[in-house]
Amino acid sequence: MCGITGYIGENKTTDILIDGLKRLEYRGYDSCGIAVVDGKNKLYLRRVSGRVDALDKLVAGDPVKGAQSGVGHTRWATHGAPSEDNAHPHTDCAGEVVVVHNGIIENYLDLKEKLQAGGHKFKSETDTEVIAHLMEDKLKALHVQAAAMRAEMLEPVFFEAFRRTLADLKGSFAISMVWARCPGLLLAARMHSPLVIGLGKGENFIASDVSAFLKHTKKVVFLNDGELAAVRMDGVDYYTFAGKKTAKDSVTIQWDSTMAEKGGYKHFMLKEIHEQAEAVENTLRGRLLPLGGEILKAEMGLSAEAMKGFSSLQFIACGTAYHACLVGRGLFENFGLVASADVASEFTDRAKLMARGTLVVAISQSGETADTLFAVREAKAGGAKVLCITNTVGSTLTREADYVLYTHCGPEIGVASTKAFLGQLAAIYLLAGHFAAARGRLSGAEARRYAEDLLKIPRLIEETLEKEPEIAKIAEAFSASEHFLFISRHLNYPIALEGALKIKEISYVHAEGYPAGEMKHGPIAIIYKGMPLLAVAPSGRTLDLMAGNVEEAKARGADVVAIVDAASRKTVKASRYITLPEAPELFTPMLTVLPLQLFAYYVALAKKCDIDKPRNLAKSVTVR
C-alpha cells in the first residue's frame, strides 16, 4: 500500500501534510515526500529515502513559508533500494506539475514510449511519472500563453488537462495533483483505489483514508470510481471523468481511534480483504518488465543466468502459504518447468533427496514460521539455494535465504490470512513470468502480454469485491450448516483447499477441500441432502469436467454454490452462483479465492465468532 495526503488552506501546509503522512505510515515507510506551492507560484519539493521522521527533519531544517496547497505520499519501494528518485511526488520536465499516485497504470509502458519519443525525459523507474509528463503535454495543448494568463483563467485549463489525462490512463489509481502556476486548485481522482475528501472551514483535505485528517475534520466525502474532485479553500466541486458535474453528500465520521485503524470496517479481516487490490499492486509495481531477470537481478541478485541454471523448484510452506505453493507448482509446470510443493513440517526426508540444482522457494508471511525455517536449514545443509517470499523485512527467513522477494502487503492484523495470501500469489506469478522468459518459455510478445494481464488483476479484484452483498446473503443462508465441501480442479484446486481452511479457521465448522476428480474415489459418500458444496468453476480446460462433478454432487443432494464467470455459468448448473469478471485461465486463482474469503467471513459473522482472533490460533507459528 501507499498513502496520499493533500491540503489546501491557510494553515501550516507542510505540518499538516507531514502529520497526515505519519498517520498513514502503516501504508508504507520506505520512502516519502511532499510538494507544496506558495502564493507566488513557487514549488517546493522535498523527498527522502526513508521514513516520515526523516522527511520531517528535512522540512524542519528548511521551512517552507507561505504555502497554501500541497500533496504528500508515503510508500514501500517495490524493487531495488528505496531511492529519492523513485519516491513521490513526481514532476514533469518543467518541474511545475506535481503528482502523487496509488495503484498501477496498466498502459504506462505504451504511454512512456510515446512520451519519450516526444522528447520527455524520465527521472524515475515508476509508472506514476508518466502521469506528470502526460499532464504536461495536455497543458501545452490547451494554453499557449500561460504566463500571461491570470490564475482564475488557468483553473479551467488545469482542470481540463487533468480530465484529458485521466482519459488516457488505464488501470487502478488514486491521484492527487498540484500545478505551480495554479496554487488555488488541488485536483484528485479515483479509479479502483481509495480516496476521500475532508471538508473544513477555509481549508480542505485529501487522503487515502480518513485517519490522515481526523484531527482536523470529521466531515468527509468518499469518492467513487470514475469521479474527480476540484478542491479549493472555500469548497469542493465533484465531476465524472467525462466532466459532468455531480452532487455528493458528506458524512460525519463517528470513529474512535481503534475504528480509524480499522478504516471503519467491523473487523481487520474484512478491511484486509478489501486491501487486496493494493496488496497485489505493491507486490507487482516496478518488477514486471522487462521479464527475464534484470529487475530481479537488481533487487535480489537473481540473474537470468541463475534462473536458467536451476534444474527444478521446490516450494515449501505451512497453512495458507502452502496453498500458494500449490498454485506455484501448477503455474511453473504450465511453463514446462519442473516444480514440487511440500508442507514444510513434512519436508525432512525430501530435503535429503532433492536433485542438484534445485531452487527451494520458502513462503512465510511472518518470516518466522518455525517449520518453514527448519525446512530451509535442512535444504541449505543439502547444498540447495533458497529464495524466500515474505512480507516481513528483517525476519529470520530473510537472513537465512539466498534471495528475498518481499510482498510489501503492509501489516496484516487478522489471524486468518487474506491479503498476505494474495501478495504471495502475486509474487509467485511475478517469479514464474521471469523464469519463463529467462528460459525461453515465453517469447518477447508473450511476456509482454503476460505482464499486461497480470497488471489488470488489481482492477479485477476490485470488481470481484463488489459482489460482497450477494456473497453475504448466500453465506447467511448457510450459516447454520456444520459441514462444507469445496471442490475444484487444476490451478484452482488449491483455492478449494484455502476456502475450506478459511471457514474452519474463523467459523469453527467442519470443511473439506478436494480436487473435484477425487470425489468419486470416496468423498462423495459424505454428501447429504442440503449439504453446502462450493464449486470453483471458472472458464478453462477443466470446465466440462467440473460441470460433470457438480452434476454428480447435485444428484446426491448437495446444495451447490458455483464460483463462475459469465461464460462458465452457461455450462455449470448450480442452485446459486457467484459470477466473477472474466480473466485468462492462468490468473483465475487470484480472483476465485476472494468470494471464498468473504463467504467464510460472513458465516463467522453470523455465528458471532471472534473473527480477528479465532480460538486456538496465533498469527505467527514460531514453535514446531
Give 585-612 pLDDT, tens digit per residue: 999 999 999 999 999 999 999 999 999 8
Q: Which three cell numbers stand for residue 406?
A: 518481499
Q: 620 exposed, middle or buried (CB, 10 Å; 0-12, 13-18, 19+)? A: middle
Cis peptide bond prior to 538, omega within 30° of 0: no
| 3-17, 161-175, 253-267, 350-364: least confident range | 253-267
Q: Are 513 and 505 in contact (CB under 8 A)?
A: no
**Model confidence at 623: pLDDT above 70:** no
State the DSSP H helix or E strand holding residue 433, giving kind and residue range, or none if neither: helix 419-438
Q: Are 612 and 505 in contact (CB under 8 A)?
A: no
Cell 540444482 belongs to 357
Phi, psi (degrees; rounded to nearest 5) at 38: -95, 180
pTM: 0.72
CA 392 to centroid of chain Cα atoms: 16
Which structural domains are found in the chain, ordered by start?
3-261 (3.60.20.10), 265-455 (3.40.50.10490), 468-614 (3.40.50.10490)
Beta bridge mates, 487:
514, 535
Condensed to tens digits (0 to 9), the pLDDT of residues 389-424 reads 998 776 789 889 999 999 988 778 888 999 999 999
* Helices marked H in 293-418: 294-300, 304-309, 319-334, 348-353, 370-381, 396-400
Condensed to tens digits (0 to 9), the pLDDT of residues 90-122 reads 999 999 999 999 888 989 889 999 999 999 999
CB neighbourhood size of 375 (10 A):
27
Q: Are 111 and 174 in contact (CB under 8 A)?
A: no
Amino acid 340: pLDDT:
96
**Model confidence at 80: pLDDT above 90:** no
Residues serving a catalytic function are 2, 619
Instruction: Give which of 32, 91, 40 is closest to 67, Cα–Cα.
Output: 40
For 365, residues 6+ apart whose C-beta sits below 8 A from its C-beta are 320, 321, 390, 391, 392, 412, 417, 420, 424, 620
| 23-32, 172-181, 337-346, 515-524: least confident range | 23-32
Rounded distance between C-alpha atoms, residue 379 and residue 47, angstroms:
42
Amino acid 622: pLDDT:
43
| Coil, helix or strand at residue 114 | helix
Phi, psi (degrees; rounded to nearest 5) at 415: -65, -40
Condensed to tens digits (0 to 9), the pLDDT of residues 190-226 reads 997 788 999 999 999 999 878 789 889 989 898 988 9
Q: Which three cell numbers stand for residue 96?
A: 511545475
**Model confidence at 41: pLDDT above 60:** yes
- Cα dihedral angle (466, 455, 196, 167), rounded to 10 degrees? -100
